Amino acid sequence: MTPFELAAADADAIRARTGVARHDVVIVLGSGWGPAADRLGTVVAEIAMTDLAGFPRPSVAGHTGTIRSTDLGGRRVLVLQGRAHLYEGHDPAVVVHGVRTAVLACCRVVLLTNAAGGVDADLVVGGPVLVSDHINLTGRNPLVGPPPPEALGPRFVDLTDAYSPRLRALAREIRPGLPEAVYACFLGPSYETPAEIRMARTMGAGLVGMSTAFEAIAARQLGAEVLALSLVTNPAAGVVAAPIDHADVLAQGAAAAGGLGDLLAEIALRSA
């Protein structure tokens, strides 16, 4: 199967296993965001990602590898509790498989979350930040390869508004004062060096991480609206004199989970 055929097959499998013909919104929970899942509606069904053909088994702590179908005030939501990363050795098509599957299951709104290092020293550790744009520094792209089927959107995707201005305005209406920043996507899994952080800052980035950009590209190629929300879990390398530890990433997520889950739920509920 091509990546698009595989995503379509898994979308059909989700319909069959959940009994929900159409989902409206997909929420991808990144590192540290797992506890927010319980704020995202009444659980209708839960599926192990590995029960579907195109999803790999997550290998990163904090990614449980389940898909929830929830009812959030009448909005049908798919909650992906974990994602695949390029640094796990996956092809870019595998990294974006979850988002492609969700959009082909009729989700027209894609809410991406991640844990990020704060390049901008003014960003508060433990606080959410809207992604206004991204810089893909991986040298890879999920659209490389055979062209997508014509019915599923163009090969040459306009990313001028990769992150929906409408959804960003909605998020700021729900939480006034929510900061925005450009997200620089590195390959990982090693954290960035201070020199790389200086480079990212010079390029205009306020956040750094190892995900999100590929999923945003794939979702926009299929015509979905995208919003991305980062949780600043640590100052980036060299911003302060402190080591960076993945355990701290998960701890920050657990501490902020309730408020972040409520914010995501409100965005999803009002995103129609």
Catalytic residues: 31, 63, 85, 87-88, 115, 210-211, 234, 246
Close Cβ partners of 259 (under 8 Å, ≥ 6 residues apart):
none
The tally of CA atoms less than 13 A away on the side-chain side of residue 204 is 8
Instruction: Work out the angle at residue 120's Cα, subtended by the Cα atoms of residues 117 and 122, and round it to the nearest 5 degrees.
Output: 110
Identify the residue whose tokens are 């408020």: 259
Close Cβ partners of 118 (under 8 Å, ≥ 6 residues apart):
125, 206, 207, 232, 234, 235, 236, 239
Q: At 190, is the secondary structure helix, strand, or coil?
A: coil
Q: What stretches of the chain show up as alpha helix (H) in DSSP?
A: 3-18, 92-95, 97-104, 165-174, 194-202, 213-221, 246-270
Asked if residue 166 lies in contact with residue 18, where contact means CB atoms within 8 angstroms, the answer is no
Pick the closest to residue 29 from 183, 192, 186, 211 (CA basis). 211
